[in-house]
Amino acid sequence: MLELKNLSFSVESDGIKKEILHNLSLTIPDGKFVVITGPNGSGKSTLARLIMGIEKPSSGQIFFDGQDITALGVTERAKLGVSFAFQQPVRFKGIRVIDLLRLASGKQLGISEACDFLSEVGLCARDYIDREINSSLSGGELKRIEIATLLARQTRLSVFDEPEAGIDLWSFQNLIRIFENMRREIKDSSIVIISHQERILQIADEIILLSDGTIKQTGSVDEVLPQLIGTTAAVDACERLK
Amino acid sequence: MLDLNIDDIGKSLLAEIADIHDTPAGAYNFRVNSQLAGRHTTDNIDIMTKEGLPGIDIFIKPHTKGESVHIPVVVSASGIKETVYNDFYIGDDCDVVIVAGCGIDNCGEHDSQHDGVHRFYVGKNAHIKYVEKHYGSGDGNGKRILNPQTEVYMEENSSMEMEMEQIKGVDSTVRTTIAELKAGSKLVVKERLMTHGDQVAKSDYMVTLNGENATADVVSRSVARDTSSQTFNARITGNAPCNGHTECDSIIMDSGKILAIPSLEANDVDAMLFHEAAIGKIAGDQLIKLMTLGLTEAEAEEQIIKGFLR
C-alpha cells in the first residue's frame, strides 16, 4: 500500500518559487489499478517521480507498506518493491535488451524467460533480445522494452508515466491489452498509471483527477470519466488523429 | 591444462589477454619474459624466429581456412624493455583468426615496456580476424608501458576485422595503426580503451584507401577515469572512389581528459568519407533508470561502462 501525506513540491525558476504539487494526500491500496489523469502541467509526472524517489518533496511524507520512505533514495525504494516506467525511455550504447531484462529481474534470466517478457509486450523476441538499447530502436519499441523491464521486475508497486506517449496506434492497442492482462493478474500488488487516454482510464479501478497540483476528484470510472470526456484532461486517441 | 613453463602470474595474464586456459588449438607462439615459452606450427601455418631482430615471422599458406594463430606475450619480470617485430604473411583466400595481446605484471621498481611491431601482409580475397588485448597488473612503482605499432597492407578484395582492447592497468601507451587498402578490400577496426589513475594513452590511425571500393570503418570507444588522459587521432585518406568512416565516442569521468581529432583527406572526387566524435559524461537519466531497477549508483555506472566498452 502506498500512502502520500500532505505532499508538496516546488521549484525555483529565476528566483520565483513555483509550487507544482500542493499538500497532496492519497492512498493507493493493494490490488488496485489506479490511473492518475489531469491536464498538462497539473503535476502528474512530478507525482510519479516523487513516488520513485527521483525527486524529493519540499514537505510531506511517503509511506510504502507502512514504512516511511520519504528519505530513501531511488535504489532503496526499488529494492523495497517500487518500479517506474519512464515517459521517455533511456537509451544506452552497448547495453542489450537481454542485459536490461536481466538487471531488471535481478537474476541471470534465461533466454526463453526473457523472450516471454518481450512476447508479452508484442515484440518478436528473437529479433530483439540481442539488440542494443540505442538509437536504432524506435520510440515505440523502446516504450515496449521499458514495459517489459517492469514485467520482469514483478514488484509490489509499478508506476507508469504516460505509457501511451510516443507510440503508434497499433502499439497502443497492444498496450491496452498488456494493461488489461496486468490488471487481471494484479493480486496484491498495485499499479499506478499516469495517463490521458480514455481507453486506459476505462480499465481503472480508480481514477484520480489532478489539477493545479491538487486532487480535484477521486472515484470509480463511472463516477469520474463522464465528467472528463470532452475536457482537456482526457483526449481520445482517435480525436487526435482526425 | 597449459603444459608450458609459465608461472601462475603468467597464466592469469594469459587468461586476461587471450582467454587462454589450455594449450590453444592450432598454431601458437608464447613469449614470456623475452624468451620463447612454447611454439606449435601446423601444416598450413609456419612460425619462424626472425634473424637479426627479436620477433617472429608467421607464414600462412594460401587457402588456409578455419585455423587460428595465438601469439601472446607475457612480461612478468620488472625492468624488461623490448621491441619485438612480428610479421604475418597471409596467403590468398585464407580465412583465419589471429589472437595477439600482451600482459604486463610489474611488482618491481623498474619500468617494464613491451613495444610490439606487427605487420600484416594480407593476400587477395583473404579474411582475417585479429584480436589484440592489452592488460597490466602488479602493484610496484615501476610503470607498465605498451606501445603497439600495427601495419596492415591489404591486397585486392581482402578483409580484416581488428578488435583491439586495453581496459586495465597499462600506465602509458602509444598505439599506432597504419593501414593501406587496395581495390575492394575492407578494414573494420573496433578499439576499446579505458584509462584510470594517471595513465596516458594515445591512439593514432592512418588509413589510406588506395583502390576502388576500398572500405574502412574505424570505431573507437573509450572511457577516461580519475586523472588519466587520452588522445585519439584518426585520419582516413581516400585516393580512389572509396568509403571511409571513423568514429570516436568517449565517456569522460572524474578529472579525465580526452582529445579527439578525427580527420579526413579526399584526393578523389568519388571518395566518400565521414567522421564523428563525441565526448560526454554518463547521462544522469541512464544512472537513474538503472537505479530504478535496484542498482546502486556505483553499480549502475559499472554496467553503463561495461556496456559501452562491449
Q: What is the per-residue pLDDT across A83-103, written as a single tens digit (0 to 9) for each?
A: 999 999 999 999 999 999 999
**B165, B250, B287, B289: which to substitute to probe chain A, counting the most A Cβ within 10 Å?**
B289
Write the pLDDT tens digit of every residue in A213-222.
Answer: 999 999 999 9
Q: Could you tell me how many CB contacts below 8 A there are between chain A and chain B?
A: 60
At A148 the pLDDT is 92
Asked if B261 is an interface residue toward chain A (Cβ–Cβ < 8 A), one would say no
- In the numeric block, which cell numbers belong to residue B269? 572526387
A138: amino acid identity, one letter: S
B106: amino acid identity, one letter: N
Nearest residue on chain A to B303, judged by CA atoms?
A95
A chain contacts of residue B291, beta-carbon cutoff 8 Å: 73-75, 78
B73: amino acid identity, one letter: V
User: Across the strands, what pairs with B149?
Assistant: B117, B176
At A230 the pLDDT is 63
φ and ψ of B211, to 5 deg: -115, 160
Q: How far is A169 from chain B (nearest CA, A)?
A: 26
Interchain proximity B304–A95, CB inside 8 Å = yes
At B298 the pLDDT is 95
- In the numeric block, which cell numbers belong to residue B263? 580527420
Of A79, A92, A94, the CB nearest to B309: A94
Query: Which residue, among A205, A223, A213, A165, has the nearest Cα to A38 in the 3D structure?
Result: A213
Residue of higher predicted confidence among A237 and A221? A221
Write the pLDDT tens digit of every residue in A7-33.
Answer: 999 998 888 888 999 999 999 999 999
User: Across the strands, what pairs with A207?
Assistant: A35, A219
At B161 the pLDDT is 97
Q: What is the 3-state secondary structure (H, E, C) of B92-132?
A: CCCEEEEEEEEEEECCCCCCEEEEEEEEEEECCCCEEEEEE
ipTM for the predicted complex comes to 0.92
Q: How far is B284 from chain A (nearest CA, A)?
A: 10
Q: How far is CA A223 from the centre of its chain?
A: 23
Interchain proximity B296–A78, CB inside 8 Å = no
CA-CA distance, A80 to B294, in Å (whole number)?
9
At B150 the pLDDT is 95
Interchain proximity B293–A78, CB inside 8 Å = yes
- Is the pLDDT at A242 greater than 70? The verdict is no
Residue of higher predicted confidence among B127 and A234? B127
At A76 the pLDDT is 97
Asked if B85 is an interface residue toward chain A (Cβ–Cβ < 8 A), one would say no
SS3 B287: helix
B chain contacts of residue A89, beta-carbon cutoff 8 Å: 289
- Is the pLDDT at A150 greater than 70? The verdict is yes
CA-CA distance, A137 to B45, in Å (whole number)?
44
At B20 the pLDDT is 67
Query: Which residue, among B310, B292, B288, A108, has the nearest Cα to B301 in the 3D structure?
Result: B288
Q: How far is A140 from chain B (nearest CA, A)?
A: 18
A chain contacts of residue B310, beta-carbon cutoff 8 Å: 94
At A231 the pLDDT is 63
User: Across the strands, what pairs with B279?
Assistant: B250
Please give chain B's pLDDT, 310 residues, in tens: 455 667 777 777 777 777 766 777 889 998 888 888 889 999 999 999 999 999 999 999 999 999 999 998 888 888 888 899 999 999 999 999 999 988 888 788 888 888 889 999 999 999 999 999 888 888 777 888 888 999 999 999 999 999 999 878 888 889 999 999 999 999 999 999 999 888 999 999 999 999 999 999 999 999 999 999 999 999 999 999 999 999 999 999 999 999 999 999 999 999 999 999 999 999 999 999 999 999 999 999 999 999 999 8
Q: Give the DSSP H or E segment for A116.
A: helix A111-120
A chain contacts of residue B283, beta-carbon cutoff 8 Å: 90
Report the half-sphere exposure of A149 (CA within 13 A, side-chain side). Answer: 31
Ordered structural domains, chain A, with CATH: 2-241 (3.40.50.300)
At B63 the pLDDT is 97
Of B221, B288, B309, the CB nearest to A74: B288
A chain contacts of residue B294, beta-carbon cutoff 8 Å: 75, 78-79, 106, 153
At A241 the pLDDT is 52
| pTM of this structure | 0.86
- In the numeric block, which cell numbers belong to residue B109? 621498481
Rg (CA), chain B: 20
**B191, B281, B293, B299: which to substitute to probe chain A, counting the most A Cβ within 10 Å?**
B293
Instruction: Look at chain B and count its residues.
Output: 310
Write the pLDDT tens digit of every residue in A38-91.
Answer: 988 899 999 999 999 999 999 999 999 999 999 999 999 999 999 999 999 999
CA-CA distance, A32 to A183, in Å (whole number)?
8
Interchain proximity B304–A73, CB inside 8 Å = no
Query: Which residue, among A210, A232, A231, has the nearest Cα to A9 in the 3D structure?
Result: A210
Average pLDDT estimate for A188-201: 91
Asked if B74 is an interface residue toward chain A (Cβ–Cβ < 8 A), one would say no
Asked if B310 is an interface residue toward chain A (Cβ–Cβ < 8 A), one would say yes
Q: How far is CA B272 from the centre of its chain?
A: 26
State chain A's mean pLDDT as an integer: 89
Q: Give the DSSP H or E segment for A126.
A: helix A125-128
Interchain proximity A103–B304, CB inside 8 Å = no
Q: How far is CA B212 from the centre of its chain?
A: 27
Q: Give the pLDDT band (50/70/90) at residue A233.
A: low
Interchain proximity A149–B293, CB inside 8 Å = yes
Q: How far is A57 from chain B (nearest CA, A)?
A: 17
Interchain proximity A78–B306, CB inside 8 Å = no
Asked if B293 is an interface residue toward chain A (Cβ–Cβ < 8 A), one would say yes
CA-CA distance, B230 to B257, in Å (whole number)?
6
B chain contacts of residue A78, beta-carbon cutoff 8 Å: 291-295
B255: amino acid identity, one letter: S
Asked if B297 is an interface residue toward chain A (Cβ–Cβ < 8 A), one would say yes
Q: Give the DSSP H or E segment for A146.
A: helix A139-153
CA-CA distance, A237 to A169, in Å (whole number)?
8
At B242 the pLDDT is 98
Task: Show which residues on chain A lie within 8 Å of chain B, measured between beta carbons.
Answer: 52, 54, 73-75, 78-79, 83-84, 86, 89-90, 92-96, 99-100, 103-104, 106, 132, 149, 153
